[in-house]
Each structure stands twice: as C-alpha cells, then as structure tokens.
Amino acid sequence: MAATSAASFSVGSTMSFGSKASLLSQSKAFGVRFNSQNSLKSFSGLKAMTSVSCESESSFLGKESSAALRAAFVPKVQKRNQRSWNYLQPQASYKVTILGAAGGIGQPLALLVKMSPLVSALHLYDIANVKGVAADLSHCNTPSRVLDFTGASELADSLKGVDVVVIPAGVPRKPGMTRDDLFNINANIVKSLIEAVADNCPDAFIHIISNPVNSTVRIAAEVLKQKGVYDPKKLFGVTTLDVVRANTFVAQKKNLKLIDVDVPVVGTEVVEAKAGGGSATLSMAYAAARFVESSLRALDGDGDVYECTFIQSELTELPFFASRVKIGRKGVEAVISSDLQGLTEYEEKALEALKPELKASIEKGLAFAQKQTVTA
C-alpha cells in the first residue's frame, strides 16, 4: 500500500514546506534468519544472533540504501531451501582515504567509514595527531585495515591506489573570522591536497567537504585541469548535510516518518549550524559518510544510487550547481533536472536570489586557482 508523503523543496538559505505530494512505497521491516551463528563472523566479528532484522525506517543511510539491502537479501532468503548459509558476506574491496582525518569532522567520519562492509582499506592522513586516531580505530573489528599517514612526506603514499578520497581538511569558521579569512586558509589547503590527488589517484572519486565548498570545488576542478586529469563526473562537493537537515526538519514539522520524506536541496546552505559557537562536525561527518557509502555502492555496481551534490552542471546558467544526480561506476551518470520543474513562486524567487552569491563564490575559486598558476 502506498503512503503519501510531503515532498518539500529547499533552495538556498530558505526552506519551503510545499503542498506537493508524491507516492512512496511504504517500507516494511523484514527478517532474515540464520541457522548458523557463523554466518555473521566475516562481517564484524560481533556476537551473531540467530536472526537479523533490517528495519528500513531506522536505516543509517536512508531509504535508498535500505532498498538496496532488501534487494540483496530477499532473493537469498527465498533460496533458503538450497541451504546456502553465507547470506551476509559483503565484499570489502574498496580503498578510501580521508585527508584531514584528525579533525573535528575527520575523526567521526573515519569511524563511520570504518563501519562500512565495502571498505577494505581506510587511509587516514593529517599533518599531526593522526596516529592515535588510527590506532583507536584499528581496534574496531570490521573488515577494513586502517593505516595512518602524517605530514607532506607521506601524503602521496596515503593516496596511491585508492578509490575514494574525502577531503574535510581545513579550518571551521570561528567567531570573528571573516569569510575571506576562511577562504584564504582553506583554499590553499585544498589546492595542495588536490595536486597530490591528481598525481597519485587521478581516477578516484573526489569528495570535497572543506568550506566554502562553492569555491573549493571550483579550485579543485581548475587544479585537476592544469594537471590534465579532470573528470567532472568524479568531482563532488558534499552538500548531503543540507539534505539530511532538510529531511529531518520537514519530518518533524509535518509529523512524518523520515523514511517518507525526500527533500532535494539545490543551491547553497539550508541553515547555519552552531551560529557563533563553531561549525557542524558530527552531523557533517554523518552526511559525508552517507555520501561515501553511496559512492561505494555505485562503484560496486548498484544501479539505483541518487544523491544531491555540488558539481559541474548545465542545469542553470551557472557552471556549477547543487542538484540531485544518479551516480554509477564512472561517476555522475545523470542530473535530475525535474527537481527544478514545477517550482512555486516562492521557490522561484529563492532560486533566483541565491544565484548572484553562488556565482560570486564560484568565480572567487576560479580567480584563486588562476592566480596561483600565474604566481607559479
């Protein structure tokens, strides 16, 4: 039976709770029973239960991952009469590097990525204090092997042969710090890290978290172009936190289950977290981990992976824009243009209002990259 959910649309720094409705299939909890406790040993080493229940409503990664999980398990459950007991054996085969792993976002992000059954190796890099983080994480009995890398001399080794690079490196905006202060510090950090990515793992998916992301993604694109390895389908600005926040806020406002809420977010930020008292770290780590998991699922052949992200785009007159995309093994496969169709007058005005600021941020990143090239 279909459940009707409120489909709201969020643009820029505003949120609208629209009256549009869409039909989403009501997800149901399902159970997978194992007659042998040995079935789960290769997953996490935790004590196995005689039954496993996957509740899609409380899924860590949302309904897309829940649907993929159900699709993977249900056929196997139906074949139980064949007495194949290795139902839960995720293949850990992907390498992930986190650049800035000792920071406020990097540490919780590393923990969440360590939990992924698709990760075989987790490389943690930072300029200091990363050895303790790696040692701590290495005690978690999940499949991935954790390695630490410290300082510029070990940066290249942290990137060789990896499939996904996540960059939360940089400083958060602090009280008294101007946007220009934040930009100048983080722009240089992103530039140097992307140069290393271009030299050591040019084919990897690149996830940019470092703020201001509307500028740092543009910087990354220019550096990759200068290195001759730019693939716009594999460069992502991680805006998933905006989606996570919007879904949460709408669900609370409308008294809905999170599983029934899907709010595509385009443009820029939805809210300013911890205003005057720091930046979002735990929620940002959660959102980044969700995007990593989506990328890994896409690389692993899942054909139903969709996320909102800031990418090179032809959706508007701006060269980069945040929108919902379909991700596949080679990166972005399609941009979902329908999210910008049928907007209300309120949403149209909000969309137009954000464009000048977004354009300025993109151009600022481009000017920085070009200036650095001339100086060099």
In a domain, 66, yes or no: no
In a domain, 38, yes or no: no
Instruction: Tell which wins on pLDDT, 129 or 240.
Output: 129
In a domain, 45, yes or no: no
* Token pair listed for 100: 């800035």
In a domain, 57, yes or no: no
* Token pair listed for 280: 């979002």
Number of domains within the chain: 1
User: Could you tell me the pLDDT band of residue 278, with boundaries at 50, 70 and 90?
Assistant: low
In a domain, 364, yes or no: yes
Residue 202 structural domain = 94-374
Peptide bond into 212 cis (omega under 30): yes
Q: pLDDT tens digit string along 256-272?
A: 888 888 887 776 754 44
In a domain, 107, yes or no: yes
Among 51-60, 88-97, 156-165, name the one with the lowest average pLDDT. 51-60
In a domain, 293, yes or no: yes
Instruction: Tell which wins on pLDDT, 55 or 92.
Output: 92
User: pTM to 2 decimals?
Assistant: 0.75
Question: Among 22-36, 59-73, 196-210, 243-257, which range has the highest average pLDDT?
Answer: 196-210
Residues 77 and 32: their CA atoms lie apart, in Å, by: 7
In a domain, 2, yes or no: no
E runs forming strands in the chain = 2-6, 9-11, 14-16, 21-25, 30-33, 51-54, 94-99, 119-126, 145-150, 164-167, 205-208, 235-238, 265-266, 306-312, 320-328, 331-335
List phi, psi (to 5°) of 348. Answer: -60, -45
What's the pLDDT score for residue 64?
Answer: 57
User: Residue 185 belongs to a domain with what CATH number?
Assistant: 3.40.50.720
